[in-house]
Amino acid sequence: MAISRADCQTLDEQDPLKDFRDEFTLPPDVVYLLGNSLGALPRRTAARVGHAVESEWGRHLGASWNTAGWWDLPQTTGDRIAPLIGAGPGEVLAGDSTSVNIFKAVTAALPLRPGRRVIISDLDNFPTDRYVVEGAARAFGDYEIRDIGTVDGALNLDEALGDDVAMVLLSQVDYRTGAMHDIGAVTAQVQAAGALMVWDLCHSAGAVPVDVSAADLAIGCTYKYLNGGPGAPAYIYVASRHHQDVRNVISGWHGHAAPFDFEPHYRPADGVRRFASGSPPVLSYTALNASLDIWERVDLRHLRAKSVSMTSLFIDLVDEMRPGLTLASPRDADRRGSQVSYRHSDGYPVVRALVDRGVIGDYREPDIIRFGFAPLYLRHVDVYDAATTLAEVLSKELWRDEQYQRRLTVT
C-alpha cells in the first residue's frame, strides 16, 4: 500500500479535529461509515435528554414552554443550524421531516413565480424529493415536472431552463454517488432564467462547508452528518428577501402572528417562523441541540480538509488493490462530498460481509456501495482498516457466503 497504517496514525495525531472523536459514543471494534445515514451518538445527548425528561417535563411540566424555551425551539435551533449552511439569523427554522419541508418549500416557491408552470427536478435525486414534488404538483394542479439528469457528472440544466420554469429542486450532494454541485454557479444559472432555486442539503450540512446565501429556499435533515438522532427535526431555509411574500400552506397555529390570541383566522408570523405548523417534538430538539453544542466549535475549513484527506485516501487505497470495483464518486475532490461510492453487481452481499467484519457501510439500488466519512469521529486509521477489510472481502470472495444473500428490510 502506498501509505502504511503508521502513516495514517501520524496523520491522525496531526489532525486539528482529533479531540472531537471523544465527544461520541461509538461501538468498539467498528468502523462506522454510515454517518451519512444516521450520525453517531454524542456522549452528551443522553444526559441532556434525561434532563429534559426529568426536570423540564417531569418537574416543571407545561411551564417549560416558557421557562425552558420550548416554544421557541424551532427558531433557536434553526439559528444554530444557520452558520453551518451559510444562512443568516432568522432565515432557518428547524422542524418536521425533510419530506414535509420539501412540500412547504415547493408550495411556498411556486406562487412567487405566477404564470410559470414548470418544476425542474433531478431524476437522480433522493426519491422522497421527487415523490413530494409529484404530490405538490398534483395538489396544486396544472404544474409540469421536467426531469433532468446528469451527463458525465454535469447537469443538463441548459436545455431544461426556460421562461416557463418556476423553480428548480436539486440536492447539492448526490445521496448515491456523493457527487457535489457548485451551489453558487447552479443558483446563478437558475436565477438568471428567472426561476427560484431550492436546494436539498441533506448530504451537505455537516459534511462540507455550505454557502446557501444566494439561493431562494433550502431544506435539509439533521440526523445524518449533524448527529441529531433518529428522526431529528429537519429544517427549512428561506432567504430573508422572500420573507414578506412566502406562504406556508400548512398554516398551523405555531406559525401564526399571535398564536395565543386564538383568533378565528390565520395571519402569518413575521419571517421564517411562519413555516412552523404544530407542536414541536421537544425531546428530539433537545437531542439535536446537544449535538449543535459540538458543531458550534467546529472549524468548517478543518472539516473539509479532513474529509477530502479521508475520502481521497480511501479511493487511493482501493485503487491500489484493484478489487473489481468501479468508482461511482467523482475522482476530483472538488466535486465530491464526504462520501465514496462504488458499483459492484453483487453490492448487497458485499456490504453484508463488510458489516459482519465491523465495517459499516450500506447499499443503494441498483448496484451502489456507500461509505460515508464523518470527519468529526473518524480517523485515517479507520479509513485504512476499512479499505483492507474491503480488499479481503473481495479478493477472498467472502461475500459469496449464503447468509449474505438474503435482503433485510432496511438495506
Binding residues for ligand PLP, per CB under 6 A?
97-99, 126, 128-129, 171, 175, 200, 202-203, 221, 234
Burial of 66 (0-12, 13-18, 19+ CB in 10 A): exposed
Q: Give whichever of 173 and 393 is closer to ligand PLP, judged by the CB atom.
A: 173
Examine the residue annotation and report whether 126 is marked as an active-site residue of this protein: yes
Spatial distance between the Cα atoms of 322 and 318, rounded to a whole number of angstroms: 6
Active-site residue identified among 20, 223, 237, 384: 223
Q: Give whichever of 198 and 303 is closer to ligand PLP, judged by the CB atom.
A: 198
Sheet holding 196-200, edge to edge: 92-94, 235-238, 217-220, 196-200, 165-171, 118-122, 144-148
Which has the closest alpha carbon to 85: 177, 245, 217?
Answer: 217
Active-site residue identified among 200, 216, 362, 382: 200
What is the DSSP-derived secondary structure letter of residue 325? -
Examine the residue annotation and report whether 224 is marked as an active-site residue of this protein: yes
Smallest gap from residue 250 Cβ to ligand PLP (A): 14
Active-site residue identified among 104, 130, 224, 274: 224
Smallest gap from residue 199 Cβ to ligand PLP (A): 10
Task: Check whether 280 is labelled as a binding-site residue.
Answer: no
CA atoms lying within 13 Å on the CB side of residue 321: 21
Smallest gap from residue 207 Cβ to ligand PLP (A): 11
Spatial distance between the Cα atoms of 24 and 159, rounded to a whole number of angstroms: 46
Smallest gap from residue 174 Cβ to ligand PLP (A): 8
Q: Give whichever of 31 and 234 is closer to ligand PLP, judged by the CB atom.
A: 234
371 and 341 Cβ atoms separated by less than 8 Å: yes
Examine the residue annotation and report whether 200 is marked as an active-site residue of this protein: yes
Task: Check whether 126 is labelled as a binding-site residue.
Answer: yes
Which has the closest alpha carbon to 376: 316, 296, 287?
Answer: 296
Task: Check whether 203 is labelled as a binding-site residue.
Answer: yes
Spatial distance between the Cα atoms of 371 and 329, rounded to a whole number of angstroms: 11
Q: Give whichever of 119 and 387 is closer to ligand PLP, judged by the CB atom.
A: 119
Task: Check whether 281 is labelled as a binding-site residue.
Answer: no
Examine the residue annotation and report whether 223 is marked as an active-site residue of this protein: yes
Active-site residue identified among 32, 126, 275, 342: 126
Smallest gap from residue 364 Cβ to ligand PLP (A): 11
Host H or E run for residue 42: strand 41-42
Examine the residue annotation and report whether 370 is marked as an active-site residue of this protein: yes
Smallest gap from residue 334 Cβ to ligand PLP (A): 21
325 and 342 Cβ atoms separated by less than 8 Å: yes
Strands 339-343, 326-327: pairing is: antiparallel
Task: Check whether 129 is labelled as a binding-site residue.
Answer: yes
Q: Give whichever of 41 and 221 is closer to ligand PLP, judged by the CB atom.
A: 221
Strands 368-372, 339-343: pairing is: antiparallel
Q: Give whichever of 137 and 205 is closer to ligand PLP, judged by the CB atom.
A: 205
Q: What angle do CA 231, 379, 368 make, to 5 degrees?
A: 60
Binding residues for pyridoxal 5'-phosphate: 98-99, 126-129, 200, 203, 223, 253
Where in the sequence numbering do the catalytic residues fall?
126, 200, 223-224, 370
Binding residues: 98-99, 126-129, 200, 203, 223, 253
